[in-house]
Structure formats: structure tokens, C-alpha cells
Amino acid sequence: MTSAERGPLSWIPPVHALLDEVPAAVRRHRAGERLEKASLRFAIERVRRAIRSAAGEWPTEEAVREAVASAWEEEARDLLAPALRPVVNATGVVVHTNLGRAPLAEAALEDARTAGGGYVPLEYDLETGERGSRYDHAAPLLRIATGAEAAVVVNNNAAALLLAVDTLAGDRGVVVSRGELVEIGGGFRIHEILSRGRARLIEVGATNRTHVEDYAATLEAREVGAFLKVHRSNFAIEGFVAEVDLVGLCRLGAERGVPVIFDQGTGILAGEVWAAGEPTVAEALEAGAALVCASGDKLFGGPQAGMIFGSADAIAAVRVNPLLRALRVDKQTLAALEATLRLHLIEPDSIPVRRMMSAAPEALEARARSLWESLAPAAREACEVAAHDGRAGGGTLPEVALAGWAIRVAPVDLSASGLAAALRSGEPPIVARVTEDAVWLDVRTLLPGEELMVADRLNDLLDPSRGGDR
């Protein structure tokens, strides 16, 4: 049987034969032998899948070999390029989980680079010459920012909550309202995370109504180690509802000798104009919570981290919990967190998340109009400046709409989804919002200099004279 009779799959040469014909473009990447072989295998598998799905479209052996060579170059390029490359967030969602949440302030980036590029006294006491603790570094600033007696940092807020419950409840019960058994990003649920620890989860109340008596009743028949209150930061319940506020729960805990853990989550340390009504870490501590957990990469505007605040005794117990070792934070995260804390106390508007959240609608309209005016005439015809509500994102402030402005694009000869895909396919990718048969590019979440990138891309895609690739 000839190769033509066997079909296109047989036309793919073996790996060892192709390695003698490495495309010049692949060699330019200087991939090295291991990456050359790996990228070639990926390329061959890609071509095999293409042949199986459309065998009749491969008329000659030469066409197959050319397809392998082209795929090989692309696979080599993709393996050597950073997967986490810069993306322009034009969605208006400030803390966009899918796009890496909070962009860091320049000071935080610089301190993280310094820590990562050399040696730092992470666990070394320069004064005594003896071993120190990584948990001492950010603690003073965390205390100043919230009024906490003590604080500790771990790798994220889910870890902080797991550690807090394990420390205070141990293998006893932790009581939580059924209305607070929330699901967070990625399909993870609070009760499923807690079930991986030692504590027994005791659910009380109903989805929509929980009373202080529900918590008190658990103390009569079960061994309870802690009360847990979870802030519903990513949804709201309305109608026939009732819940026990943190003050009331802490009062019950103080009367019955049961510590209260509060999963504040959003990372708001103290009051913010744009987050009126949201519980803060400082308020939770004042209410009497033994431990308060919060995220570093949400509305705090720092790196991914879990911050645990509380009484000196409670934090001391956290610091000797063996679980802390598995959840510990690295030097670059600590450096970025400390830098962000300093900015909170000295220059809060230099934190990108804070700046975006508090941006005035008038200023956003001026930015949107300036962007529109920078477009070529042909692109301008397909675009308009329009009011657009942004969102906090990151599972926070679900009922808060951030009044702002955007460029609304409704091209005549290109669908909204097609334009959005074209924006994503460029360098850097631009991620926009598609709704109402139009593409919306919200200026709230554009970083300095990104308006020019958006204007250039829109001109390329909407102005035929520029030969844009549609």
C-alpha cells in the first residue's frame, strides 16, 4: 500500500527525521534540544487532530509537512513566551479575578522586584544575628492600619479562614449560618474548604433567616469551639430576611465564652466613601471578633494574600499552629503587601484599585472623550462616548454600580463578538465587554498609557485605509 493509499496521517514523518529539518524560525527561538523535541511533538499532535477532523482537506504529503513546520514554529514560540503577558482590562471591572485581580502600585512592584532579585532578612534578625520570623515584617503596619493588637499574613484568604478556624475551634464545632455558606470563585464553597480542617461544621438557621437563638441553641448540646460569621460579599439577599449582626454575635460569644471569627474577605481596612455600609476590618475588631480574615488582592489593592487580624492571644495561637507552615507567604508577596500598606497610610490614591474605585464620573467622561477624539475619522463613526457602569469585581460590592464612561463600538460590517475577538487577538490583548450588540471599552480600568493602545487597535480594526485585519 502506498502512502497516498494509507492517507494523510501516514505522511507525517517521524520525530527523528523532522529534527534534522528544524525550521529556521524555530532555531531563531534558541529553544534547545528538549524544547525543540517537545514543541515538535505538540505540533505533530495538533496536525493529527486537524487531519482526523478534515482528512479530505490534505491533498498532498507536502501540504502535511508544511502544516507540521508551521505548527512547530508556533508551538516553540508559545512555549518560550510568557503565558502571563500583559492584558488591557477595558471591562470596567476593577478587581477582575480572571485577569489577575488587583494591579499593584509602582512602589509595591519595585519592592517586590528588590526582594525577589537578591537576599533579604526574611527570617533573620540583623540585630541579634539569629533566626527571625517572616510574620514580624508586615505586622506593625497592619496593626497601625486597623487598630488590631496583632496580625499575621498567609498566602490567601481561604487559607486565612481555614487557619483561623483550625486554631480557635480545633476538633470542636464551628457554628455558621446557612445563609452564609457561600460559594466563592472557581466553584469552591466555604463549607467544603472548612471540611478539610479538623473542626466540625454546625449549620444553624435558614437560608434567609438566622437568629441569635439559633447560635445559642448549639451550646446546649454540642461542644462548640467558635462562632463563624461570613460576609456575603458577592451576593445579596432581600425580602423576608434576618441575620445576626457581628456585634450581636460577639456579644453572645463574650457571654458564653465562645470566640468569634469574622471572614470579612474584601480587604477594606477602614471606611471608604465608595464602600459605604461595607463592614471593615477595624469595625469587626471593635465589635469584639477574636480573629478577622481579609484578602490582600481585592479592595485592599495589594498582592494575593490572606491577612489575619485579632487579639494578641489569638494571633499568638495562630503563629504556633503547624498548619501555618503549609500556608506561609513568600518574600515578594510580603514586600508588595508592606509597600501597599505604607501607601494606604501615606498616599492612598497611588494604589490603582483605590484610584479606579474612587474615580469621579466627570473625570472618566473627559478621558473617554479624549480617547474618542484621538480616533481616526472612519473609526470615530463606529464609536460613541456613552455612560457605562463599572463594577468592583472580585466577589465584592455586588449591589454597587460605579457610574462611569466608556467607548461604545457598534461596527456596521463586523459583529460585536467578532470585534471583541479581534481586540483579544492583538498584542497586547484588549479585553472588553460585549452587551446590547456592541463592544464597550470602559476607561475606568485602563492604566496610564493604555488609551493610546486602545485607540491604535480601534483604528486598525475600524479604519479600512489602515489595512486592519478583520
Residue whose C-alpha is closest to residue 138's, from 284, 339, 291, 315:
339
* Burial of 3 from C-beta contacts in 10 A (0-12 / 13-18 / 19+): exposed
Buried b / exposed e along 364-398 (16+ C-beta atoms within 10 A): bbebbeebbebbbeebbebbebbebebbbbbbbbe
pLDDT number for residue 165: 95
Structure pTM? 0.88
Pairing label, strands 88-89, 173-177: unpaired
Question: pLDDT tens digits, residue range 7-61?
Answer: 788 888 888 878 777 666 566 666 677 888 888 899 999 999 988 887 567 778 8
Report how far residue 23's alpha carbon sits from residue 20's, in angstroms, rounded to the nearest whole number: 9
DSSP at 74: H
Amino acid of residue 329? V
DSSP string, 128-170: TTEE--GGGSSHHHHHHHH--SEEEEES-HHHHHHHHHHHHHT
Tally helices (H) and strands (E) across the chain: 20, 16
Q: What is the pLDDT along the chain (470 residues), one digit of tens a residue?
A: 444 445 788 888 888 878 777 666 566 666 677 888 888 899 999 999 988 887 567 778 888 888 888 888 888 888 888 888 999 999 999 999 999 999 999 999 999 999 999 999 999 999 999 999 999 999 999 999 999 999 999 999 999 999 999 999 999 999 999 888 877 666 677 777 777 778 899 999 888 888 999 899 899 877 999 999 998 866 677 777 788 899 999 999 999 999 999 999 999 998 776 677 789 999 999 999 999 999 999 999 999 999 999 999 999 999 999 999 999 999 999 999 999 999 999 999 999 999 999 999 999 999 999 999 999 999 999 999 999 999 999 888 888 899 999 999 998 888 999 999 999 999 999 999 999 899 999 999 999 999 999 999 999 999 877 655 54
What is the CATH code of the structural domain delimited by 106-350? 3.40.640.10
Q: Nearest 5°: CA angle at 393, between 197 and 138? A: 60
What is the residue extent of each domain of the chain?
Answer: 3-80, 88-95+356-466, 106-350
Amino acid of residue 117? G
Report how far residue 136's alpha carbon sits from residue 153's, in angstroms, rounded to the nearest whole number: 9
Report how far residue 195's alpha carbon sits from residue 173's, in angstroms, rounded to the nearest whole number: 11
Fold for domain 88-95+356-466?
Aspartate Aminotransferase, domain 1 (3.90.1150)
DSSP at 328: B
* Number of residues written out for the chain: 470
Q: Give Dmax (Cα) for the chain.
A: 88
pLDDT number for residue 398: 83
Question: pLDDT tens digits, residue range 416-449?
Answer: 999 999 999 999 999 999 998 999 999 999 999 9
pLDDT number for residue 5: 46
